[in-house]
């Protein structure tokens, strides 16, 4: 099988600086716009930072669900691409995702999903530069593990909270 | 002429916290710093974050290192800002 | 429109339940920038003519939460909280790191002005659609953890729209029980362990029945003057911050040992000493046992000086706090005679949850403990023994103060006012044991050894009194990381000279040079703050001949350590103070001169200060 790009994520190493969101929106929107960033850090409780972005499921349920064929899979990177002309902002892909990853853009309302910046993602550059490595890019063959990362952020947050704070973690979430 | 020099931070452990110095009539901050550097045994550089005040005025607002000193002046040397 | 700004402020009157918006003139923004500077200007404009009569805890006072033009653009986004201070009766710019600042700007607002007093507890919810006043009956009485948990869930539910994707949590500033009960030195809290601590603005929020302000914006950040230049400088400043390895590695969490053992300037047992060599209180004992997150940061920050601690076993299981940072380590550790990392972490978690300001409440509790040590306050007065190092006793005292129960009601007035009342009650002058300057309890950096950064007049001459983030150094550098940082509203730990000035120009398009700021804008702000401090009232007025001074304790010789015998020297303090005032264009007693007011465009202050001058 061919190697594809994937972003490794380790929530426990995320500081919550959200420079990933800054550079994502600079790249895709031309300006700093955290709510339009394709990578989103959820912070439901201090210290509990959830790195939330497309997991590139092996069966791509969002692409399957799109009623107007606005979503496709990039042949090289295997990222999900959104045809913004075709997208009708119906929200079906949002519902189809097992991880609640896609969202409708705060400006034009179109579906927004990480496109891996064509294979050289901006977000990982700043995270690695800062020495955090909460996210970094790898080139690996696709496998079934990836879909395991498509989990609702608040569910992931409960795990992280317990990891960080022990029993107290159950309480604060 | 006579000036008083107050020294704060690490440099004070070599120079003492307060010095009364007899200087030449044409003394400047630069010549004073040279004199003190001789006593410390290493250069004292303003661009290392050291602040120099002459009568409460930052030398950046006077003539920098060329600021002339006068009889009775109070010169204060402060270490870089830190804290938290 | 001015660049870097959203362009409008929310103007909320809680008495009338009225929500409005104001747009400030370009000129006002250019002169006062934002945050601390703009707060002083707004307060003067709205309350100046009757300042001495305004009760800081009355409905007339304003609670301001302001960003600045660099907020969210420059590393380390913060919010500046201000108003008439119930401690100094002047204006303090008090900042805290929080996503609230970003969310406010993303919702299209540069800040919030709150006046009046709600009949029942409320919170404000700010979104792109505007502001709503919402019931907070279910939040009143809740501690920090509960408040955050409930608000995050509630606001997320409110913003949820099917098929649009999961909304994220809001940015929130809030008060704990201490603020609700108007503890005079209570903090405005954020993110569980971040506090706008100096000034007592938690009490101001409490006096307005305002539990919290939550914001969630979805807009891009405002336009800037030179976006391409900004993008380049943004990457450059982060490259510089990432090099600050020592700070990133330890934050200030190693200070609890270092500042005592090395610079001999840490408060110990209410500043009776400033030196210890307790290695068990050193950084590694915090780091390896308790740090669960070694790098934690706020929006757009790579300094990541924050580290999160958690106690996972034993009687204090479940306590969560920051490292604690140096100030908390000192004030809730050695200053209470506690030299045990676990005890200090516990007290830090207690203080955060109650919404106390750790520095200020730690100062007040140590003041009480010294009075107990001297037999002035007794077990009968307190209801329990208050021995140095007794963590449970200080835990209990912190709760009593937050609830204003028993002796706590008196200590809730802050160290200075409590000292006045206890002196009267006991017939003994206890003010020599009150370590405050102009009502503001002094930060954990002493001046006696001369080895730490505050100068002999660092607190004595500062319009923010004991605030260790705004100490007086000279009439030039004071204007940089503290006055500029608090007015541009960015974190002083991300301050980088010269990049911050270059970024300021790229964002605003204004000709902001360090020189111009330090000689004109910054001095204008400090001079206005000094004027409002001098006007003071109604319960306290500062006497320039007596109160612009160090706490008496700093004139006592250090009793222990390598700098034993050293103390503040009165002659030096007087000379440096006189020189500083002169450099600021104030008279020898610290009252701004008419010429200075004219030069800074503050002539309107002159009639109010005229009588004070000799």
Mean of pLDDT over chain C: 97
Q: What is the DSSP string of C44-80?
A: HHHHGGGGGG--TTSTTS-EEEE--TTTTTSSSBEEE
| Nearest-10 crossing angle of helices C341-354, C144-159 | 50
Angstrom CA distances, B50 to A47, B21, B46, B53, stand at 37, 20, 5, 10
Chain mean position to CA C466: 11
**What pLDDT sits at residue C394?**
98
Q: Quick check: C310 pLDDT over 90?
A: yes
Q: Does the model's pTM come out above 0.95?
A: yes
- CB atoms B84 and C582 under 8 Å: no
Q: What are the pLDDT digits (tens) for A14-50?
A: 999 999 999 999 999 999 999 999 999 999 999 999 9
- Does A touch B (3+ CB pairs < 8 Å)? no
**Across residues C529-549, what is the average pLDDT?**
97
Q: Quick check: B43 pLDDT over 70?
A: yes
Q: What is the DSSP string of C213-240?
A: EEEE--SPPPP-S-HHHHHHHHHHHHHH
**What pLDDT sits at residue B15?**
84
Which residue in C98, C157, C168, C303 has the most chain A C-beta atoms within 10 A of its own C-beta, making it the best mutation to test that interface? C168
Residue A117: domain span? 5-172
Chain B environment of C473 (Cβ under 8 Å)? 51, 78, 81
- CB atoms A152 and C302 under 8 Å: no
Q: What are the pLDDT digits (tens) for A61-78?
A: 999 999 999 999 999 999
- Does C touch A (3+ CB pairs < 8 Å)? yes
- CB atoms C474 and B8 under 8 Å: no
Chain A environment of C238 (Cβ under 8 Å)? 19, 126, 129-130
Catalogue all structural domains in chain C, each as residue range(s) with its CATH number.
9-216 (3.60.9.10), 244-441 (1.10.569.10), 477-612 (1.10.599.10)
Q: What are the pLDDT digits (tens) for C104-158?
A: 999 999 999 999 999 999 999 999 999 999 999 999 999 999 999 999 999 999 9
Q: Is residue B63 part of a domain?
A: yes
- CB atoms C579 and B53 under 8 Å: yes
Q: What are the pLDDT digits (tens) for B3-26?
A: 999 998 877 878 888 999 999 999
Residue C562 pLDDT level (bands cut at 50, 70, 90): very high
Q: Is residue B36 part of a domain?
A: yes
**What pLDDT sits at residue C341?**
98
- CB atoms C475 and B51 under 8 Å: no
- Nearest CA to C221 among A111, A129, A21? A21
Classify residue C288 as exposed, middle or buried by CB count within 10 Å of its CB (0-12, 13-18, 19+): exposed
A47 touches chain C (CB under 8 A): yes
B47 touches chain C (CB under 8 A): no
How far, in Å, CA of C388 to CA of C390, rounded?
6
Q: Is residue B72 part of a domain?
A: yes
| Nearest-10 crossing angle of helices C358-373, C341-354 | 120
For residue A105, give how far its alpha carbon lies from the nearest alpha carbon of chain C (Å).
Answer: 8
Domain count, chain B: 1
Q: What are the pLDDT digits (tens) for C595-612?
A: 999 999 999 999 999 999
How far, in Å, CA of C285 to CA of C299, rounded?
29
Runs of H (alpha helix) within C404-544: 407-411, 414-426, 485-488, 499-508, 514-516, 522-535
Angle at C542 between CA C540 and CA C543, to 5 degrees: 135
Phi, psi (degrees; rounded to nearest 5) at A47? 95, -25
How far, in Å, CA of C274 to CA of C384, rounded?
27
**What pLDDT sits at residue C364?**
98
Q: How many CB atoms lie within 10 A of CB A129?
A: 14
Q: Is residue B84 part of a domain?
A: no
Phi, psi (degrees; rounded to nearest 5) at B27? -65, 145
The answer to whether ipTM exceeds 0.85 is yes
Q: What are the pLDDT digits (tens) for C1-33?
A: 789 999 999 999 999 999 999 999 999 999 999
Residue in the block written with tokens 């605003």 = C508
Chain B environment of C446 (Cβ under 8 Å)? none
Residues 104-163 of A with CB under 8 A from C: 104, 106, 126, 129-132, 152-154
Q: State the greatest distance between any 2 C-alpha atoms of chain B, in Å, as a whole number.
A: 42
- CB atoms C476 and B60 under 8 Å: yes
**What pLDDT sits at residue B46?**
75
H/E element holding C581? helix C570-584
Residue pair C559/C276 in contact (Cβ under 8 Å)? The answer is no
- CA atoms in the 13 A half-sphere facing the CB of C410: 16
Residue pair C530/C604 in contact (Cβ under 8 Å)? The answer is no
Residue pair C535/C51 in contact (Cβ under 8 Å)? The answer is yes
DSSP label at residue C89: S
Rg (C-alpha) for chain B, rounded Å, is 12
Angstrom CA distances, B73 to B3, B5, B59, B76, C393, stand at 5, 8, 13, 10, 52
Neighbour subunits, A (≥3 Cβ pairs < 8 A): C
C329 touches chain B (CB under 8 A): no
Mean of pLDDT over chain A: 96
Q: Is C536 left (phi over 0), alpha (psi -120 to 50) or beta?
A: left
Residues β-bridged to residue A60? none
For residue C570 the two structure tokens come to 């009165």
Pick from B61, B74, B84: CB nearest C476 = B61
Chain B environment of C481 (Cβ under 8 Å)? 81
Residue in the block written with tokens 């030195």 = C185
A26 touches chain C (CB under 8 A): yes
Residue pair C483/C39 in contact (Cβ under 8 Å)? The answer is no
Number of helical H runs and strand E runs in chain A: 6, 8
Q: Quick check: B84 pLDDT over 70?
A: no
For residue C494 the two structure tokens come to 């991300």
**What pLDDT sits at residue B40?**
82
Residues β-bridged to residue A138? A6
Domain with residue B7: its CATH number is: 3.10.20.30
Minimum Cα–Cα distance from A109: chain C residue: C164
- CB atoms C320 and A130 under 8 Å: no
A19 touches chain C (CB under 8 A): yes
Pick from C305, C451, C579: CB nearest B56 = C579
- CB atoms C302 and A40 under 8 Å: no
- CB atoms A167 and C318 under 8 Å: yes
For residue C50 the two structure tokens come to 């009757």
How far, in Å, CA of B14 to CA of C23, rounded?
56
**What pLDDT sits at residue A123?**
98
Residue B21: domain span? 2-78
H/E element holding A3? strand A3-9
Domain count, chain A: 1
H/E element holding A51? strand A48-52
Domain with residue A87: its CATH number is: 3.30.70.20
A–C: how many Cβ contacts below 8 A? Answer: 130
For residue C579, give how far its alpha carbon lies from the nearest alpha carbon of chain B (Å).
Answer: 5
B38 touches chain C (CB under 8 A): no
Strands (E), C130-177: 130-135, 171-174
**What pLDDT sits at residue B83?**
59
Q: What are the pLDDT digits (tens) for C324-365?
A: 999 999 999 999 999 999 999 999 999 999 999 999 999 999
Q: What is the dihedral of CA C274, C278, C284, C288, to 10 degrees?
A: -120
**What pLDDT sits at residue C164?**
86
Residues β-bridged to residue A81? A72
**What pLDDT sits at residue A134?**
98
Residues 5-34 of B with CB under 8 A from C: 6-10, 12, 17-18
Q: What are the pLDDT digits (tens) for C34-59?
A: 999 999 999 999 999 999 999 999 99
**What pLDDT sits at residue A153?**
97
- CB atoms B84 and C451 under 8 Å: no
Residue A1 pLDDT level (bands cut at 50, 70, 90): low
Chain C environment of A44 (Cβ under 8 Å)? 152, 169
H/E element holding A45? strand A40-45
- CB atoms A47 and C312 under 8 Å: no
Residues 78-97 of A with CB under 8 A from C: 90-92, 94-95
Residue pair C440/C68 in contact (Cβ under 8 Å)? The answer is no
Q: Is residue B30 part of a domain?
A: yes
Strands (E), C181-319: 188-190, 194-196, 210-216, 291-296, 306-310
Q: Quick check: C93 pLDDT over 90?
A: yes
Q: What are the pLDDT digits (tens) for C482-532?
A: 999 999 999 999 999 999 999 999 999 999 999 999 999 999 999 999 999
- CB atoms C305 and B84 under 8 Å: yes
Residues β-bridged to residue C9? C22, C111
Residue pair C416/C445 in contact (Cβ under 8 Å)? The answer is no
């Amino acid at each position: 099988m061919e190697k594809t790009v994937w972003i490794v994520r380790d929530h426990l190493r995320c500081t919550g600086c959200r420079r990933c969101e800054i550079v994502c929106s600079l790249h895709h929107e031309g300006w700093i716009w955290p709510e339009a960033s394709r990578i989103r850090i959820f912070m439901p409780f201090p210290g509990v930072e959830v790195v939330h972005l497309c997991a590139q499921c092996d069966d791509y349920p969002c692409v399957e669900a799109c009623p107007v064929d606005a979503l496709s899979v990039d042949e090289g990177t295997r990222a999900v691409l959104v045809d913004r002309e075709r997208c009708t902002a119906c929200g079906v892909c949002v519902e189809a995702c097992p991880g609640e990853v896609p969202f409708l853009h705060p400006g034009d309302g179109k579906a927004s999903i990480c496109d891996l910046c064509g294979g050289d993602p901006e977000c990982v550059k700043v995270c690695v530069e800062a020495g955090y490595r909460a996210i970094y890019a790898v080139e690996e063959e696709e496998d079934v593990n990836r879909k395991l990362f498509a989990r609702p952020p608040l569910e992931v947050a409960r795990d992280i909270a317990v990891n960080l704070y022990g029993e107290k973690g159950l309480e604060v979430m | 002429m006579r000036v008083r020099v107050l020294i704060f931070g690490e440099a004070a452990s070599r120079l003492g916290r307060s010095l009364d110095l007899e200087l030449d009539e044409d003394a400047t901050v630069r010549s004073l710093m040279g004199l003190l550097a001789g006593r410390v045994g290493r250069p004292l550089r303003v661009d290392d974050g050291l602040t120099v005040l002459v009568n409460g005025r930052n030398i950046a607002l006077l003539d920098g290192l060329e600021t002339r000193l006068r009889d009775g002046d109070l010169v204060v040397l402060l270490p870089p800002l830190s804290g938290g | 429109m001015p660049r870097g700004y959203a362009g409008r402020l929310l103007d909320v009157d809680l008495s009338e339940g009225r929500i409005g918006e104001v747009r400030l003139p370009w000129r006002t923004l250019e002169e006062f920038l934002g945050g601390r500077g703009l707060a002083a200007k707004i307060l003067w404009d709205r309350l100046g003519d009757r300042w001495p009569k305004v009760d800081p805890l009355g409905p007339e006072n304003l609670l301001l939460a302001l960003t600045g033009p660099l907020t969210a653009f420059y590393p380390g986004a913060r919010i500046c909280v201000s108003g008439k201070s119930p401690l100094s009766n002047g204006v303090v710019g008090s900042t805290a790191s929080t996503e609230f600042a970003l969310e406010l700007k993303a919702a299209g607002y540069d800040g919030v002005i709150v006046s009046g007093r709600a009949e029942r507890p409320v919170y404000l919810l700010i979104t792109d659609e505007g502001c709503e006043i919402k019931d907070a009956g279910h939040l009143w009485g809740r501690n920090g953890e509960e408040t955050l948990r409930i608000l995050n869930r509630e606001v997320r539910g409110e913003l949820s729209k099917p098929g649009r994707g999961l909304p994220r949590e809001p940015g929130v500033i809030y008060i704990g029980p201490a603020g609700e009960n108007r503890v005079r030195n209570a903090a405005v809290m954020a993110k569980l362990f971040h506090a706008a601590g100096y000034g007592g603005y938690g009490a101001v929020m409490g006096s307005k029945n305002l539990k919290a302000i939550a914001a969630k914006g979805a807009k891009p950040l405002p336009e800037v003057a030179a976006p391409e230049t900004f993008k380049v400088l943004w990457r450059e400043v982060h490259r510089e911050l990432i090099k600050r390895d020592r700070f990133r590695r330890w934050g200030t969490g190693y200070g609890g040992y270092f500042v005592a053992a090395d610079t001999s300037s840490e408060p110990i047992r209410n500043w009776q000493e400033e030196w210890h060599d307790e290695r068990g209180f050193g950084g590694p004992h915090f780091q390896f046992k308790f740090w669960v997150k070694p790098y934690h940061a706020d929006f757009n920050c790579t300094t990541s000086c924050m580290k999160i601690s958690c106690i996972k076993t034993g009687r204090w299981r479940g306590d969560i706090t920051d490292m604690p940072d140096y100030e908390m380590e000192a004030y809730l550790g050695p200053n209470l005679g506690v030299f045990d990392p676990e005890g200090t972490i516990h007290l830090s978690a207690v203080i955060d949850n109650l919404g106390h300001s750790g520095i200020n409440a730690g100062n007040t509790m140590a003041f009480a403990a010294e009075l107990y040590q001297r037999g002035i306050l007794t077990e009968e007065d307190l209801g329990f023994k208050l021995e140095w190092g007794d963590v449970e006793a200080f835990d209990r005292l912190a709760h009593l103060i937050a609830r204003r129960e028993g002796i706590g009601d008196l200590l809730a007035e802050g160290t200075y006012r409590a000292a006045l009342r206890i002196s009267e009650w006991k017939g003994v002058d206890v003010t020599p044991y009150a370590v405050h300057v102009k009502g503001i309890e002094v930060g954990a950096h002493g001046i006696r050894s001369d080895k730490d950064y505050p100068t002999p007049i660092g607190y004595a001459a500062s319009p923010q009194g004991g605030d260790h983030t705004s100490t007086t150094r000279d009439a030039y550098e004071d204007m940089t990381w503290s006055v500029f940082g608090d007015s541009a509203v960015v974190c002083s730990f991300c301050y980088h000279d010269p990049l911050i000035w270059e970024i300021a120009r790229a964002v605003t398009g204004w000709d902001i040079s360090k020189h111009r700021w330090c000689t004109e804008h910054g001095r204008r702000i400090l001079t206005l703050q000094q004027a409002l401090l001098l006007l003071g009232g109604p319960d306290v007025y500062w006497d320039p001949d007596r109160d612009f001074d160090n706490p008496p304790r700093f004139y006592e010789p250090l009793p222990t350590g390598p700098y034993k015998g050293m103390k503040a020297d009165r002659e030096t303090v007087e000379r440096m103070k006189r020189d500083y005032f002169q450099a600021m264009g104030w008279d020898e007693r610290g009252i701004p001169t008419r010429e200075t007011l004219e030069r800074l465009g503050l002539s309107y202050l002159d009639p109010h200060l005229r009588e004070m001058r000799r």
